[in-house]
Structure 1
């Protein structure tokens, strides 16, 4: 085939996959609709009766999505490197569909998550426990005090975003387990109306959600290939690593925040041990002396859907990006979209072939390392 024909075939396959996966935003489906009601019931039961969560209805034909994904004519892609990438992508998207279709089914969802996201290794758990040995910052410090409602917090996100050449919407919800999140498919930042934000949380979230997640959302839309927008296989670890690393570079990453990520690893590990929601909660609340509200939301994040293992990847991703940066490598390549560290060579190759473009929007905090927290640096250097 002529070069133009080869490109035409690839773009057609990419377009087909794009039309199929637009609705597969896992975070849109895995957040329970009745969080606050079940939280009250759980606390009333003295932490003994597991919550019974309900989830949004799925608005696509799951079987049809699988079938159409696997009927793509990848054999017509002559470039072996690109063909292998698209094979990986189809398997990854199929796995995400299986996650969505089994939300709320207990073990089925958990096993599908294991295939998509994995679970902590012994080394990961040891790293988490190592972090928990350190004393965090003084809790009475004014920057950690709850101060701003979701509505009041909007102005900080809007002001922070003025440095970037893109627009997005801000919405509010009382049905998310995070205190804020970016929905990639609709270019929207969602703020949790049940949360009162501290100055530190706003500093963290502006860098994390806008400086990385929204930046990679917007960069992902600029390529001829739509896979940069919907995501490379296993991109969650890289994306969350980049996002937490922006907290570090902007001097907002604290020991307190690192311990939060460590508790998530411990909580995900509890799934592998067969812990129920209530047992994971009691471990965090009783054994680790976590405030019951904090323990509840960490447990919720991990047990939603039936066992959502993604949360351990924040810490493993941070360590990988921290090491990558200190090896003098180019972070901008990883900002080109929802990409994965393990596919850096493929990203460079696609840019050289004119099928992708360099990152237009660049994370502001990456321009200069402003971290002054020596304890945080010591911890990150020491992780295995």
Structure 2
């Protein structure tokens, strides 16, 4: 973070911005959506779903709320935004408040299918026709030959050692925790600045390479860069930051040579699973689409279906493919990724963020993504697909 005397001077000059930013920081700390939307009984329900021959939909249980949604809403909308003189920054914070208010509504309706799905759509949107066409375009490609690097032979403990080794090239602390209550094999918790690894699963060499470049190379880089910024919003997240952040993370997989057609197909399946929610598909309907029609193995099909149906209909997963498309386009136009690595930021807010830089309210990044320095992708099929996404 910038030096104290300079920061103190900025806080005096832009007292209203810092006050509102600090107020929102205290409120936002309570609402990390992923810590609430991941079911507590995944393995038990998975076993029962398979035992029923895919006919009885799982009944997931979720963590209890640790805050009062009503009080949070009241505090969000009590912020005196009119005190911020700069119209662009004032509008930005207004949109930030609406975004987090929608997030609270998501959390308080987890498990209530129609309500939660509707609130999820307000935060993450729904796949467009182009998104669905892009997904089907990817899925029509024949699977590549399975290599030894795809064999799942590494334990969670071995994965921990791999990630610790990988993170040594980045000069920030790596806090790793094991969990049984996450839908992914590994994920970053922004609130606790830790990398969560799913216990009791096996990893392939390619998967470790992929997760390291995705989770550490982008999600932890943006977590630690965000913490160095004068304003807390860089750490907590701008509206629509998920699409940009996941796009950057998958692009990091691509640049490091870790991205495979299999992984790209996984993102395509996620789009179709998100699209199935709009069509009113049940859990077993979506599973049948992915496993029965597209012939994906049942464990992977269950994970993709779970990710889409958790909470009652969660559309976040649709954003990985569209985010990758936007970041890849930016790469082709030779635009720098550095502004997007300054925290949990969004392409939609580049102009306001440029304004913050001019005012001294945003700083240069302390960390960067090392995979972006050289394109190591050797897969021409991936290049063709990415160049032809609509």
Q: TM-score, normalised by structure 1?
A: 0.98
User: Following the alignment from structure 1 to structure 2, what is the Cα–Cα distance between the partners of residues 209 and 176?
Assistant: 14
Q: What is the aligned counterpart of 2:124 among 117, 122, 146?
A: 117
Alignment check: 8 A CA contact 1:6 1:77 kept: no
Q: What is the aligned counterpart of 1:347 among 321, 345, 353?
A: 353
Say whether residues 1:376 and 2:382 are aligned partners. yes
User: Following the alignment from structure 1 to structure 2, what is the Cα–Cα distance between the partners of residues 219 and 100?
Assistant: 27
Please list, as runs of the form range in 1=range in 2, the aligned pairs for 1:198-217 lying within 5 A after superposition.
198-217=204-223
- The number of residues matched between the two structures is 382
Report the CA distance between 1:206 and its aligned residue: 0.2
Match of 1:239 in 2: 245
Report the CA distance between 1:5 and its aligned residue: 5.3
User: Following the alignment from structure 2 to structure 1, what is the Cα–Cα distance between the partners of residues 309 and 183?
Assistant: 11
Please list, as runs of the form range in 1=range in 2, the aligned pairs for 1:270-349 lying within 5 A after superposition.
270-349=276-355
Cα offsets for 1:282-316 (capped at 9, x unmatched):
11111001111111010000000000001010000
* 3-state secondary structure, aligned to 1:178: coil
Report the CA distance between 1:137 and its aligned residue: 2.1
Report the CA distance between 1:6 and its aligned residue: 5.2
Please list, as runs of the form range in 1=range in 2, the aligned pairs for 1:176-191 lying within 5 A after superposition.
176-191=182-197
Report the CA distance between 1:194 and its aligned residue: 3.2
Alignment check: 8 A CA contact 2:138 2:268 kept: yes
Match of 2:92 in 1: 85
Structure 1: unaligned runs, 5 residues or longer: none
Match of 2:265 in 1: 259
Alignment check: 8 A CA contact 1:136 1:254 kept: no
Report the CA distance between 1:229 and its aligned residue: 0.3
Structure 2: unaligned runs, 5 residues or longer: 1-8
User: Following the alignment from structure 1 to structure 2, what is the Cα–Cα distance between the partners of residues 25 and 343?
Assistant: 21
Cα offsets for 1:52-100 (capped at 9, x unmatched):
0000111011111100000000000000110010011000000111111
Q: What is the aligned counterpart of 1:37 among 41, 44, 64?
A: 44
Match of 1:18 in 2: 25
* 3-state secondary structure, aligned to 1:172: strand
User: Following the alignment from structure 1 to structure 2, what is the Cα–Cα distance between the partners of residues 29 and 341?
Assistant: 26
Report the CA distance between 1:174 and its aligned residue: 1.4
Match of 1:146 in 2: 152
User: Following the alignment from structure 1 to structure 2, what is the Cα–Cα distance between the partners of residues 178 and 249?
Assistant: 22
Say whether residues 1:156 and 2:162 are aligned partners. yes
User: Following the alignment from structure 1 to structure 2, what is the Cα–Cα distance between the partners of residues 6 and 86?
Assistant: 18
Alignment check: 8 A CA contact 1:6 1:78 kept: no
Which 4+ stretches in 1 moved above 2 angstroms? 2-6
Alignment check: 8 A CA contact 2:244 2:345 kept: yes
User: Following the alignment from structure 1 to structure 2, what is the Cα–Cα distance between the partners of residues 179 and 225?
Assistant: 32
* 3-state secondary structure, aligned to 1:238: helix
User: Following the alignment from structure 1 to structure 2, what is the Cα–Cα distance between the partners of residues 48 and 75?
Assistant: 55
Report the CA distance between 1:168 and its aligned residue: 2.9
User: Following the alignment from structure 2 to structure 1, what is the Cα–Cα distance between the partners of residues 352 and 170?
Assistant: 27
User: Following the alignment from structure 1 to structure 2, what is the Cα–Cα distance between the partners of residues 152 and 3?
Assistant: 46
Q: What is the aligned counterpart of 1:46 among 31, 53, 61?
A: 53
Report the CA distance between 1:173 and its aligned residue: 1.0
Say whether residues 1:68 and 2:75 are aligned partners. yes
User: Following the alignment from structure 2 to structure 1, what is the Cα–Cα distance between the partners of residues 132 and 275?
Assistant: 7
Cα offsets for 1:319-373 (capped at 9, x unmatched):
0000011111110000000000111111121112111111110001011111111
User: Following the alignment from structure 1 to structure 2, what is the Cα–Cα distance between the partners of residues 198 and 51?
Assistant: 28
User: Following the alignment from structure 2 to structure 1, what is the Cα–Cα distance between the partners of residues 88 and 283?
Assistant: 43
Q: TM-score, normalised by structure 2?
A: 0.96
Match of 1:101 in 2: 108
Over the aligned positions, Cα root-mean-square deviation in angstroms equals 1.1
